[in-house]
A and B are shown apart, each in its own frame.
Chain A
Amino acid sequence: MMARKKPDAASAALNRELLHSMLLQRRFEERTAEAYALGKIGGFCHLYIGQEAVSTGSLSQLRPDDYVITTYRDHGQALARGMTPRAVMAELFGRSDGCARGKGGSMHMFDKQLGFLGGHGIVGGHIPIATGVGFAIKYRGGDQVCVCFFGEAAINNGAFHEAANMAALWKLPVIYVIENNRYGMGTAIERASAINDIYERAQSYDMARDVVDGQDVFAVREAIGKAVQRARADSMPTLLEVRTYRFMGHSMSDAVSGTYRTKDELEEYLKRDPIALLRSRMEEAGEISADEIAAMDAEVKAVVQDALDFADASPELPLEALWENVLVDTTSDAGAMPARAG
């Protein structure tokens, strides 16, 4: 879809949005790593750097009333879905203004208004939940879709197979996106999966399937676009394998390279940085100048700095918050079925 000719104003504007989204995730997480090292962020913290074309490419194809659910590596998708950097950073800092009031943390970003149904911490556990969201959409006769992200290691989990079978059996509008970054923590896909073309697992369920270069945001957009159409118009699920790579360790405690992958391998993949790829294609097409890129980068960095300042200033939770949100105090009166959550 990228024209290497005269820039088209509409697509140039879209491409700038894509670049901005990906750059925001990158700069946000670079500062997240810094804040983690300073002890402002605790616990497990899994960075998304290197995979930004997957979140941006996928979520740029959704409507505001669609649903998104993902894993514990969720900062990038939260931002790409439209959560504010302030709300995400405050959550990482465990403060009152976080998107989950500081009760979720890095692995559990939620935003009901955006249909962002959480980062989930048990590998594979959220995949049946996505199937349930698809069931609810069909139950209500809606035309929304649910996009569910998970890593390639989750595909070996029983939860995936149970969920995929029901989605295909019941024809549910769910798009299962495998972010294949080659390693389930430190275990390479070849050491964990009996087949390496894992999108082919969809054949077991007679489900539509596709595989795409996850470093190319346009390729991701195109593949997701087809899957969204299939879900929205025909209420049919898709299994989409997106081949990507994480440039950082599994979590903050994991070295970038070493025991399970070599420095050479990492360096090869770094040549295919999704942001650099998009930028050079836009430059080639004459859609953006070096000055404009520098200005965008400065603006994004300022936004991230603002998020850090905001998170730092956000109040700690009062101790009584420990007991809040364990249960709700309400019971339901019969009500009209809502068109969507919220």
Chain B
Amino acid sequence: MTVMTYRDALNAALREEMRRDDRVFLMGEEVAVYQGAYKVSKGLLQEFGEMRVVDTPITELGFAGVGVGAAMVGLRPIIEFMTWNFALLALDQVVNAAAKMLYMSGGQFAMPMVFRGPNGAALQLGAQHSQAWESWLAHIPGLKVVAPGTPADAKGLLKAAVRDDNPVIVLEGEMLYNMKGEVPDGDHVIPLGVAEVKRVGEHVSLISYGKMVNVALQAADALARDGVHAEVLDLRTLRPMDVPAIVATVRKTNRCVVVEEGWELCGLGAQVADYVQREAFDWLDAPVLRVHQAEAPMPYARTLEKHAKPDVAKTVAAARKVLYLD
């Protein structure tokens, strides 16, 4: 194990996969000379050269399409979006091209590519820079979607994403890049589609993913002080979702809170709640509750932003509610 930041874990994953396979290249805004808007690609230009670490004009639709074309004829592109907010311009390529090419070509053209970048809110970036798009992306057949919440998962899931022969969406987080954690040494690859119990407990299940896993873990700490043992399940992959892991934890604890970053209506937690009602209805001792962003564009004002975001206090309150403690 080596302690490193989430940023360095991603960097190591990129470096190792580019060394392993010369078809892999990184393309996006500021990834090369500037070394990455968030320094995730630091040093890669120097090691791999400008054909494999490619700065693009500010043209999300255009360079996402370049990645699709390169993948169609045998390369393995990694397309970096400076944030997923900007990737809305590129969704035609992600949804209409990458996600469907294999299907509409009757199996002829696989899309071995990765679209990655930070997703969700950071701090006071305002309405256009603070959005969490996981439910949009996880909605699309033909994509895989991962949301690593720790440095170890960031490395292992990104490496698996690069090796997968399907288009994989990697949702990172601006607030995660500086987070430190232990990362296994060696070729650390985490299979896609497998959730992980991050903390074992028996009273309530907190189901989460991405940076919200850390909120759920802190909430579990707070609950423990009152003698409540929460189990924290990290979905890690949002599509395909590890339904057996969801069902197992809820059948064990009989109570479920989903901690998600996006808005409520049609949010990711709605799907988790659906799996739970279908597969664990008779085990439930309380309705499934969801902790999510308030149904408003993200405000800039500090107090309002805090009020809008899902957080530890809201998660603790939801857990206490499903336990009928309040």
By a beta-carbon cutoff of 8 Å, the part of chain A in contact with chain B is: 67, 69, 98-104, 108, 110-112, 117-118, 120-122, 125-140, 158-159, 162-163, 165-166, 169, 324-328, 330-332, 334-335, 337-338, 340-341
Contacts and interface: CB of A to CB of B under 8 A. Distances in A.
Contact of B21 (A69, A125, A127, A335): A335
A332 B163 contact: yes
B105 A125 contact: no
A128 B61 contact: yes
A165 B165 CA distance: 29
B14 to A, nearest CB: 15
27 contacts: A104-B105, A104-B106, A108-B105, A112-B108, A117-B72, A125-B65, A125-B97, A129-B65, A131-B66, A131-B69, A132-B70, A132-B71, A135-B66, A136-B73, A159-B65, A159-B92, A162-B61, A162-B63, A163-B62, A166-B66, A169-B57, A327-B166, A330-B165, A331-B164, A332-B21, A332-B76, A332-B165
B103 A326 contact: yes
Interface of B: 20-23, 25, 51, 56-57, 59, 61-77, 92-93, 96-97, 101-110, 112, 141-142, 144, 160, 163-166
A46 to B, nearest CB: 16
Contacts of A130: 69
Nearest to B99: A326
A327 B144 contact: yes
A169 B61 CA distance: 16
Contacts of B63: 128, 162, 166
A108 B104 contact: yes
A122 B106 contact: no
A67 B106 contact: no
Q: Which of A112, A118, A162, A334 has the most CB of B within 10 A?
A: A162
Given A104-B106, A110-B104, A166-B56, A129 B69 contact: yes
Contacts of A98: 106
A128 B96 CA distance: 13
B105 A100 contact: yes
Given A98-B106, A100-B108, A158-B61, 4 more contacts: A129-B65, A132-B77, A162-B61, A325-B103
Given A125-B92, A166-B66, A112 B57 contact: no
B158 to A, nearest CB: 13
Nearest to A132: B69
Contacts of B72: 117, 129, 132-133, 341
Contact of A159 (B61, B74, B103, B104): B61
Contacts of A126: 65, 97
A120 B98 CA distance: 12
Contacts of B57: 162, 165-166, 169
Contacts of B68: 128-129, 132
A324 B105 CA distance: 11
A96 to B, nearest CB: 9
Contact of B65 (A67, A163, A332): A163
B107 A325 contact: yes
Given A103-B103, A166-B56, A340 B65 contact: no
B109 A118 contact: yes
A216 B276 CA distance: 65
B97 A129 contact: yes
Q: Which of A100, A108, A132, A169 has the most CB of B within 10 A?
A: A132
Contacts of B21: 332, 334-335
A337 B22 CA distance: 7
Nearest to A146: B69
Given A127-B65, A128-B61, A133-B72, A103 B106 contact: yes
Contacts of A136: 69-70, 73-75
A233 B22 CA distance: 25
B19 to A, nearest CB: 9
B67 A132 contact: yes
A326 B68 CA distance: 16
Contacts of B23: 335, 337
Contacts of A129: 65-66, 68-69, 72, 93, 97
B69 to A, nearest CB: 2
A335 B74 CA distance: 11
A165 B73 contact: no
A328 B20 CA distance: 21
Contacts of B102: 325-328
Given A328-B166, A334-B21, A112 B109 contact: yes
A331 B165 contact: yes
